[in-house]
Amino acid sequence: MQRYLVIKYLPELEKNDARFGKLTIQHVLDMRSGLDFDEDKETPFAGIAKLYYRSSLKNQIAKLKMKREPGLAFEYQSINTQLLAAILERASGEKVPVLLSKYLWNPLGAESDAIWSLDDQKTVKAFCCLNATAVDFAKLGRLYLKKGNWQGKQLVSTQWVNATTNADVLAKLGYKNQWWANSNTSYFKDSVSAVQTLNKLKMVAPIKKMSNGTYAVRFKSNDYRAEGILGQIVYVNPDNNVIIVRMGDYPKKNLYFNGFIAKIGREL
C-alpha cells in the first residue's frame, strides 16, 4: 500500500500543493497525511463542522491543501477517512455504500440494513454516521478476530488483518489502518518497582515519569478497537477470543470506557 500515491486516483489534488505528490494511501490510512484540516469539534467554524454540515463533500475534497510533509506526524483528522472514500469510488467506479454491501454487509449476513448519512449530492459521509445494530458491528469485529475469514470465505486478506493488528506496530504507532491500539498501562510508585516488574516479565518497555510522581509502563497489547466520535467501541481481543461492542454517548460520570472495556476483555 505504501507505493500507491493518492494522486494516482485523484491527480487533480497535486495542483493544490506539490506535497500531494508524496502522499500515499498508507499515510491517509494511518492519519499521517499532513493535510490542512481542523478537527476541533468545539467550534462551528472548524473543518470537521464544515465536513458534516456543508454541501458537496466532493468539492471539499477537491480543495484540500497540506500543512506539512506527509508521514511526519500522527494527527487524527476525519478528512482522511473521507479522502479514502473518494479514492475507493474513483478506483472502483462504484459508490461506497454499494461496495460495503457487496463486499462486507451481505457476505457477513448482516441482520439489519445499515443507514449511512449522505450530503446533498448523495455522497456518503464516510468519516462518520454509519448507523447499524450492535450485532452487525460485532460481526465486523469477529471478521478481524478470524483474520478476515467468515465461515470459510476470505472476505479480507489475512495479510491485511495481520498488518493492521500487529501488536508491535500498534504499540509503536497507536493507530493503524483506521484501528486504534488499546493502552495497557501499569503505574508504579517508583522506577525501581517498574524495572523489577519488567525484569520479572522479561520485557523491555519505556518507563515514563508522570506529573503525580508515579512511573508508567505501557505494555504491548494484542487487543485493539474501532471507536466512534461519541465513544462507540468495537473491541477485539484475539488472546481471549472476545468481542465487545458498546453503543451510545460518553457517560456523564468520569468513566474511561476504553480502559474499562479492555480490562473486562483481558479478564474474561
76 Cβ contact list (under 8 Å, min separation 6): 31, 39, 175
**Is pLDDT at 98 greater than 90 in this prediction?**
yes
- Residue 89 per-residue DSSP state: H
Tell me the percentage of the chain whose pLDDT exceeds 70.
96
Query: Confidence band (pLDDT; 50, 70, 90) for 254?
Result: low
Give the mean pLDDT of 159-182. 91
- φ/ψ of 105, rounded to 5, equals -60, -50
**CA gap 94, 103 in Å, rounded:** 12
pLDDT at 11: 96
Could you give the CA distance from residue 222 to residue 32 in angstroms, rounded to a whole number? 22
pLDDT at 217 over 80: yes
Q: What is the mean pLDDT of residues 4-26?
A: 96
> What residues have CB less than 8 Å from 54, skipping those under 6 apart?
60, 119
Q: How confident is the model at residue 202 (pLDDT cuts 50, 70, 90)?
A: confident
Please determine, for residue 2, whether its predicted confidence score (pLDDT) is greater than 80.
no
Q: Cα-Cα-Cα-Cα dihedral of 97, 4, 37, 47, to 10°?
A: -10
Bridge partners (DSSP) listed for residue 181: 224
In tens, the pLDDT along 53-71 reads 988 999 999 999 999 999 9
Between vectors from CA 46 to CA 40 and to CA 50, what angle results, nearest 5°? 125
Backbone angles phi, psi at 160, to 5 degrees: -65, -45
Count the neighbouring beta carbons within 10 Å of the beta carbon of residue 224. 24
Can you give the pLDDT at residue 251? 67
Rg (alpha carbons) of the chain, rounded to whole number: 20
Residue given cell 505501557 in the structure block: 218
H/E segment holding residue 154: strand 153-154
Whole-prediction pTM value?
0.87
For residues 178 and 247, what is the distance between their CA atoms, to the nearest angstrom?
18
Instruction: Average the pLDDT over 236-249 and give the result.
Output: 93
> Phi and psi dihedrals of 263, rounded to 5?
-65, -45
